[in-house]
Amino acid sequence: MSETASDDLSELERDLMADIAAASDEAAIEQVRVAAIGKKGAVSERMKTLGRMSPEERQVMGPALNGLKARVTEAIADRKAELRAAAIEARLAEETVDVTLPVRPSPVETGRIHPITQVVDEITAICADMGFAIAEGPDIETDYYNFTALNFPPDHPAREMHDTFFLAPGEDGERKVLRTHTSPVQMRTMEAQKPPIRVAIPGKTYRHDSDATHTPMFHQLEALVVDEVTTVAHLKWTIETFCKAFFEVDEVAMRYRPSYFPFTEPSLEVDIQCDRSRPGEVRFGEGNDWMEILGCGMVHPNVLRAGGLDPDVYQGFAWGIGIDRLAMLKYGMPDLRAFFDADVRWLSHYGFRPLDMPTLFGGLSR
Ligand code: DAH
């Protein structure tokens, strides 16, 4: 082997060994490998020249190049193993888990049920226990179901009283509304089933109104009973039983005042006995104050007729109550608007634990 060829090889070996030692991660060592013994690497290129050498030259350069290739290959493999081990060490150190740290609470522990959902669940449990089925209807209603079928005469001021949100007229010129109350589901129920009817209807309702106790979207519970013998006595018992169960008190006095709704005759407004002597607190079933909580009455014959029922055979009673207000009263929340602010601090304070489902036997609110 000529002096220069052997100098060249030892210089190449020195350079490659330095590159191998300097490679600081697995990607870098892979680059060195490609540059040395890859298809077009420095060592591989030199191996290709063997074919053009004289037999004597080849006898010397062959073993020299093979020896170089073997040493470089081994050095690369060693460095690679070293770097991999170091990478694993670093990762283990970085991802250390301190098993003595407290366990992070699961979503079931931290998530909260909104008070409206809780109250709807409570109401559903109470009504189901009294033999009511749950019914629902659309939020976008026709004028017919929201007003006309419920005996609101055309141009009756009550239509204005409801601060209705009207939708843009459809192709047929009909203006739909966001339902202003859950009462339209009374009519939908009468159309869908025959008496005896016992339905409770919780749902969203909409009116153009906003202050501490009114939001444009709010919730109502409607109840409807239709049967062959249905009286005001049934109405009163049902409402009192509902209120005692909801407020979780054994006794409560109720006061019935005459009122007016187009869809009931007679119509009544109901006050519930309460104690407001402690600031910021209302207690039900005690005290000398009254608070209006719901509207009710005997279903108007025109409404029964619109529902395809003969008022000489069937009578019914109905009531409607504001769910949001029930929640505010029961759980002491002063401002209705906070219900819909989606503030997680409010929700974690006033919300309910997801696995505490309200039942009559297990307790509604605990
Ligand atoms: N729909 C009435 C409202 O939103 C509430 C109501 C009153 C419902 C009397 C009834 C009822 O079913 O009988 O103001």
Q: Measured between alpha carbons, how far is 4 from 17 in angstroms, rounded to an integer?
A: 20
Please give the residue that has the higher pLDDT: either 105 or 128.
128
Ligand 1, residue 224: give the atom nearest the CA. Answer: 12
Q: How far apart are the CA of 175 and the centre of ligand 1, in A?
A: 22
Q: Is 235 in the pocket of ligand 1 (CB under 6 A)?
A: no
Q: Could you tell me if 221 and 125 are in contact, meaning their C-beta atoms sit under 8 angstroms apart?
A: no
Q: Measured between alpha carbons, how far is 227 from 335 in angstroms, rounded to an integer?
A: 40
Q: Could you tell me if 318 and 224 are in contact, meaning their C-beta atoms sit under 8 angstroms apart?
A: yes
Q: Could you tell me if 26 and 80 are in contact, meaning their C-beta atoms sit under 8 angstroms apart?
A: yes
Q: Is 143 in the pocket of ligand 1 (CB under 6 A)?
A: no
- pLDDT, tens digit, for every residue of 14-57? 999 999 999 999 999 999 999 999 999 999 999 899 889 899 99
- pLDDT, tens digit, for every residue of 154-199? 888 767 667 899 999 989 988 899 999 999 999 999 999 999 999 9
Q: Could you tell me if 213 and 219 are in contact, meaning their C-beta atoms sit under 8 angstroms apart?
A: no
Give the closest residue (by CA) to ligand 1 atom 2.
320
Q: How far apart are the CA of 182 and the centre of ligand 1, in A?
A: 8
Residue 2's pLDDT is: 62
Reported confidence tier of residue 209, pLDDT bands at 50, 70, 90: confident
Q: Is 203 in the pocket of ligand 1 (CB under 6 A)?
A: no
Q: Is 298 in the pocket of ligand 1 (CB under 6 A)?
A: no
Q: Helices 232-247 and 323-331: crossing angle, nearest 10°? A: 40
Give the closest residue (by CA) to ligand 1 atom 3.
181
Q: Is 296 in the pocket of ligand 1 (CB under 6 A)?
A: yes
Q: Could you tell me if 140 and 178 are in contact, meaning their C-beta atoms sit under 8 angstroms apart?
A: yes
Q: Apex CA 312: angle with CA 310 and CA 315, to 5°?
A: 80
Q: Could you tell me if 115 and 181 are in contact, meaning their C-beta atoms sit under 8 angstroms apart?
A: no
Q: How far apart are the CA of 225 and the centre of ligand 1, in A?
A: 14
Q: Is 238 in the pocket of ligand 1 (CB under 6 A)?
A: no
Ligand 1, residue 320: give the atom nearest the CA. Answer: 8
Reported confidence tier of residue 151, pLDDT bands at 50, 70, 90: very high
Q: How far apart are the CA of 239 and the centre of ligand 1, in A?
A: 13
Mutation test residue for ligand 1: of 190, 224, 263, the one with most atoms within 8 Å of CB: 263
Q: How far apart are the CA of 123 and the centre of ligand 1, in A?
A: 17
- Domain ranges, ordered by start, for the chain: 3-95, 113-350
Q: What is the torsion angle, in degrees rounded to the nearest 10, for the CA atoms of residue 252, residue 118, residue 183 and residue 284? A: 20
Mean pLDDT (the chain) is 91
Q: Measured between alpha carbons, how far is 95 from 106 in angstroms, rounded to an integer?
A: 21
- pLDDT, tens digit, for every residue of 233-273? 999 999 999 999 999 999 889 999 999 999 999 999 999 98
Residue 114's pLDDT is: 94
Residue 366's pLDDT is: 61
Q: Is 295 in the pocket of ligand 1 (CB under 6 A)?
A: yes
Reported confidence tier of residue 106, pLDDT bands at 50, 70, 90: confident
Token duo for residue 103: 């366990």
Q: Is 314 in the pocket of ligand 1 (CB under 6 A)?
A: no
Q: How far apart are the CA of 131 and the centre of ligand 1, in A?
A: 21
Second-level CATH architecture of 113-350: 2-Layer Sandwich (3.30)
Tell me: cis bond preceding 354? Omega within 30 of 0 counts.
Answer: no
pTM above 0.85, yes or no: no
Q: Is 318 in the pocket of ligand 1 (CB under 6 A)?
A: yes
Span 316-332, mean pLDDT? 91
Is 57 part of any known ligand binding site?
no
